[in-house]
């Protein structure tokens, strides 16, 4: 290859590179999507957990939704009121006070309270164990298996298995909802942070059957409902439930519960 051919080759490549660069530069300007500057400010104000508790894929998606008016300014469960006020200020509006929530496990069937059917030595996974005989080693098919799918799902280390049942750290919980989604038995619900009492049971077995499987199982007797002065307790399918919007934490239901499955929380 002579020198002339080399120069032509290098010049050709240089011109081709210049053309591609100009083309990409022009295309970037033409196809650029305008981003509202408030979006970046909101993103910086959000905690950056990307937990999905707000219902969006992550903090970036949440910020974009807020700017578009598709999500509330106080919609981040992790940031709570403090972040809600910062975002509201960026958006130039007032933020309603956000109700702080926390997760609660509706089961108290630990190793002492729950009857054990057999020793399970298979895969320690709450979803998988539902397919083994009896739904696991505990006799109550509604109860917590204690294998920790919720623990693995929690990005804040706020839930742990203690003595065979999942327990939520009230102050560590950010109400992101990951544990709620992870529990295949739907034992976890989000309740107000300052809730006074809740039913720590999910069994829908009739009283005699429930008592054979767990010593602290709700038997659907209805005494809690009869003694609640605010009509905050309902009993459906042999299981009591407290409406936290009506409950005033008077403790009447807990005092009358013969199985002590209503807990002060």
**Which residues have a Cβ under 8 Å from the Cβ of 27 and sit 6 or more positions away?**
none
The per-residue DSSP string of the chain comes to --HHHHHHHHHHHHHHHHHHHHHHHHHHHHHPPP--HHHHHHHHHS------TTSSSSHHHHHHHHHHTSS-TT--TTTHHHHHHHHHHHHTS--PPPPPEEEEE-----TTTBPB-S---S---TTGGGGSGGGSSBS-TTS---S-HHHHH-TTS-EEEETTEEEE-TTT-----HHHHH-TT--EEEEETT--EEE-----S-HHHHHHHBTT------HHHHH-TTS-EEEETTEEEE-TTT-----HHHHH-TT--EEE-
Interatomic CA distance for residues 19 and 25, integer angstroms = 10
pLDDT in tens, 50-79: 888 888 888 999 999 999 888 888 889 888
Q: Is the pLDDT of residue 33 over 70?
A: no
Q: Which residues, 6 or more positions from 82, have their beta carbon under 8 angstroms from its beta carbon? A: none
Separation CA 39–CA 169 (nearest Å): 33
The mean pLDDT of 235-249, rounded to a whole number, is 96
The answer on pLDDT for 25 being more than 80 is no
What is the mean predicted confidence (pLDDT) over 35-41? 85
Please write the tens of the pLDDT for every residue from 80-121: 888 988 999 999 888 777 788 999 999 999 999 999 999 998
Q: Which residues of 239-254 are buried (b: 16+ CB within 10 A; e: fewer)?
A: bbbbebeebebeebbb
Set out the domains of the chain in order of their start, with CATH numbers: 37-91 (1.10.15.40), 100-194 (3.30.70.20), 195-265 (3.30.70.20)
What is the pLDDT confidence band of residue 1, given thresholds at 50, 70 and 90? low
User: Does pLDDT of 2 surpass 60?
Assistant: yes
Which pLDDT band holds residue 246 (cuts at 50, 70, 90)?
very high
Nearest by Cα to 114 from 93, 82, 136, 97 = 136
pLDDT for 34: 64
pLDDT-based confidence at 201, cuts 50/70/90? Answer: very high
Higher local confidence (pLDDT), 30 or 75: 75
Residue 150 reports pLDDT greater than 90: yes
Q: Which residues contact 228 (CB under 8 A, 6 or more apart)?
A: 250, 252, 253
Mean of the per-residue pLDDT values of the chain? 90
Share of the chain above pLDDT 90, in %: 65
């Amino acid at each position: 290859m002579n020198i002339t051919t080399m120069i032509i080759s290098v010049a050709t490549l240089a011109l081709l590179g210049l053309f591609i660069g100009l083309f990409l530069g022009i295309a970037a300007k033409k196809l650029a999507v305008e981003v509202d500057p408030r979006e970046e400010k909101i993103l910086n104000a959000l905690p950056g957990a990307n937990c999905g508790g707000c219902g969006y894929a992550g903090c970036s998606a949440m910020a974009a939704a807020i700017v578009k008016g598709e999500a509330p300014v106080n919609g981040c469960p992790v940031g709570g009121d403090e972040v809600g006020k910062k975002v509201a200020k960026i958006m130039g509006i007032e933020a309603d006070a956000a109700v702080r929530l926390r997760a609660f496990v509706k089961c108290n069937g630990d190793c002492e309270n729950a009857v054990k059917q057999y020793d399970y030595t298979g895969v320690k996974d709450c979803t998988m164990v539902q397919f083994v005989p009896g739904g696991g080693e505990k006799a109550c098919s509604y109860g917590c298996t204690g294998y920790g799918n919720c623990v693995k799902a929690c990005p804040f280390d706020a839930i742990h298995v203690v003595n065979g049942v999942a327990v939520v750290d009230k102050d560590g919980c950010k109400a992101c909802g990951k544990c709620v989604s992870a529990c295949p038995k739907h034992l976890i619900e989000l309740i107000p942070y300052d809730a006074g009492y809740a039913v720590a049971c999910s069994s829908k077995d009739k009283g005699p059957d429930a008592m054979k499987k767990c010593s602290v199982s709700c038997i659907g007797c209805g005494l809690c409902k009869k003694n609640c002065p605010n009509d905050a307790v309902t009993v459906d399918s042999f299981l009591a439930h407290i409406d936290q919007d009506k409950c005033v934490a008077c403790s009447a239901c807990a005092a009358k519960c013969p199985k002590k499955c209503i807990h002060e929380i």
